[in-house]
Amino acid sequence: MEQTGRIIKSISGFYDVLDDETEELVRTRARGNFRKRKIKPLVGDKVKFDSTGDLGYILEILPRENSLVRPPIANIDQAIVVTSSAEPNFSSNLLDKILVNIEHNDIEPLIYLTKADLLNDEQYATLKVTLNGYHEVGYQVFLDRDSYNEQQVADLEKTFTDKVTVFTGQSGAGKSTLLNHIDKELGLATAAISQTLNRGKHTTRQVSLFDISDGLVADTPGFSSIDLMDITPEELPTLFPEFLRYSGQCQFRGCRHVNEPNCKVKEELAEGNIMQSRYDNYLYFLNEINSYKKRY
């Protein structure tokens, strides 16, 4: 009998599938022809499977909306970008680079500020202005000074409902601490990972999805590679939501918003309706992408 479900855990060739109808976990294997066709099921994959015997079989992987290599996971709806205020210091360049990568993968980013209690009042007020700018761009931002207060963590959990969520952000930003406040098991899982990773660089990590607030949350702190290798100069301006808002009014289709005449994005920048730091980072990334092209 053919059923549908989602893989929520993979462990040495077995896949635990959450049945859409019964909401029960079924242990399955992938059919032999998957290997021949070089198809590897990923955690997060929606699948058709048959569970008539003792062990179920995955018959087909349904089309993926997106997938990441590190961590190996498919069909992600949102990514929580954990952003440190201090130790390591806030960097708009790094934040924008992560956001661009997430947008490129068709995942919705949310920004979660940590360690704001290490700033003095003036520093916090300045950072708040910057992060409110991201809120105006359309990103959901969690920026309480007390990063892990119960209300804010509960508000974050509300965004998990009916979604698959991953976490990302620079090392030391406080991802594990945040995961711990959400669910102790997640925090424990990530602590075990860091120890394993420190022992051997090539340890493959199985990802699992935990059921939290009627959604599924990955137990892994996020993507490791933050470069722009897969992004073209044509795609980059489309990954800044505030540029998209105005680019239809630029004189040229496919305007890069650099030196072109009658560029609406540059007009809005001059009016103060686009953050200067975001535009500067855009030019910096465009330069980086063009330099890759020259090297290859």
Tens digit of each residue's pLDDT (9 = 90 or more) over 266-282:
999 999 999 999 999 99
Q: How far apart are CA 126 and CA 133, in angstroms?
A: 11
Q: How far apart are CA 100 and CA 92, in angstroms?
A: 12
CATH architecture of the region 68-218: 3-Layer(aba) Sandwich (3.40)
173 labeled part of a ligand binding site: yes
83 labeled part of a ligand binding site: no
Rg (CA), the chain: 21
Residue 171's pLDDT is what? Answer: 81
147 labeled part of a ligand binding site: no
Q: How far is CA 179 from CA 80, 146, 173, 193, 211, in A?
A: 11, 16, 12, 13, 13
172 labeled part of a ligand binding site: yes
133 labeled part of a ligand binding site: no
Yes or no: domain 236-295 corresponds to CATH 1.10.40.50: yes
Bridge-based pairing state of the strands 164-168 and 78-84: parallel
Residue 54's pLDDT is what? Answer: 84
Region 2-63: CATH code: 2.40.50.140
Residue 205's pLDDT is what? Answer: 60
Residue 201's pLDDT is what? Answer: 46
Which tens digit of pLDDT belongs to each residue from 20-36?
A: 999 999 999 998 888 88
219 labeled part of a ligand binding site: no
171 labeled part of a ligand binding site: yes
177 labeled part of a ligand binding site: yes
Which tens digit of pLDDT belongs to each residue from 41-100?
A: 999 999 999 998 889 999 999 999 999 887 889 999 999 999 999 999 999 999 999 999
50 labeled part of a ligand binding site: no
Which tens digit of pLDDT belongs to each residue from 147-205?
A: 999 999 999 999 999 999 999 988 888 888 899 999 888 877 766 666 665 544 444 46
Query: What does the chain come to in residues?
Result: 296
Mean pLDDT over 277-296 rounds to 89
Which tens digit of pLDDT belongs to each residue from 227-259?
A: 888 999 999 999 999 999 999 999 999 999 999
The token duo for 276 is: 């200067």
174 labeled part of a ligand binding site: yes
10 vs 194, which has greater pLDDT? Answer: 10
Residue 200's pLDDT is what? Answer: 44
224 labeled part of a ligand binding site: no
116 labeled part of a ligand binding site: yes
Residue 193's pLDDT is what? Answer: 63
Is residue 257 a contact partner of residue 263, using CB atoms and an 8 Å limit?
A: yes
What pTM was estimated for this model as a whole?
A: 0.91
User: Domain residues of the chain, as ranges?
Assistant: 2-63, 68-218, 236-295
203 labeled part of a ligand binding site: no
